[in-house]
Structure 1
Amino acid sequence: MKKQLLIASLFLVSLGATAQKIKEKKGEIFLDKVKIANIEKVKTEKPKYYQISNVDGNPLFKVKTFVYKSILFHDDETTDYHVVTGDKIQDTLAIVEKGFYITQKRIVKYLVEAGFLNSNGYNEANIPNLIAKSTKIPTKLVELQNKEKSLKNTLATK
């Protein structure tokens, strides 16, 4: 029993030692105590967004919130969803993480875990893979949109 407990504790310690330390401090993104990028909250008349730039300050991409308006109910039924879009990414990539809310720390954690950023900064080699795996609008909203379209067509034919 003592051997199993020792092995389990060593395993947990080794996991902690190899995990990447992600930190966001005063608009700077650090990975294992090395600055890899900057993040800035940009306030506009439209909803705010976060601008991610490299260490030199050159813009890489933005994390924005979009509002999906129901086809049938318009402004009465809306759903917010978040996307990554921008200067170095030629496409719009939906953030489909369940329960994702937009704060600097959550964005930084997501960007590192998803593979947008790594220990060298911007991970340009991984972007085509992310584009291939991701959608422009979250799948649940596409399904909702299709249901509403079919319901609208059904109501229009009657």
Structure 2
Amino acid sequence: MDFELFFNTSLDYNNFVEIVTITFSNFITPSKESRDTNGVYLSYKYFTIIIFEEVDGIDGIEEEFNMKLTRSISIELFSRQASQGMKLLFQVINKLLQQINGDVIFLGDSSKLIFKKENEYIFAYDNSEEYFFSMPFDELDKDFSIEYKK
């Protein structure tokens, strides 16, 4: 299952990568890490992530959601332990939301909107029919005002 986490941040690529890798490592140790000129690739027990330096197709996402986006994290969640992996992923995302200022969009398979953060508001979308597990929105910080949408 593929997901994409987009950020509107003024952080340059190297600072963004540093914050993301440190934050993930505070929750789970990577089993494999590699880097090349295109990005950083990290493998974990429940998922893999890629932090590309250049984000392809970002213009279409910006247009669709009417939001400026500058950085992204591509995530492949392993289906054999999807529930546990998504719970951990939401815990990491929660910490990233606290550390990286700016708006955020979290998309699932086929660009389905799972949540978006604008200012201090999180708009959570019920896409339960898309997945065989529920999204653990309760893992997001209570400092944000969460509004549920259908």
Q: Which TM class, normalised by the smaller chain length?
A: under 0.3
- The TM-score with structure 1 as length reference comes to 0.26
Higher-Rg member (1/2):
1
Q: Which structure has the higher relative contact order (CA within 8 Å, separation 6+)?
A: 2
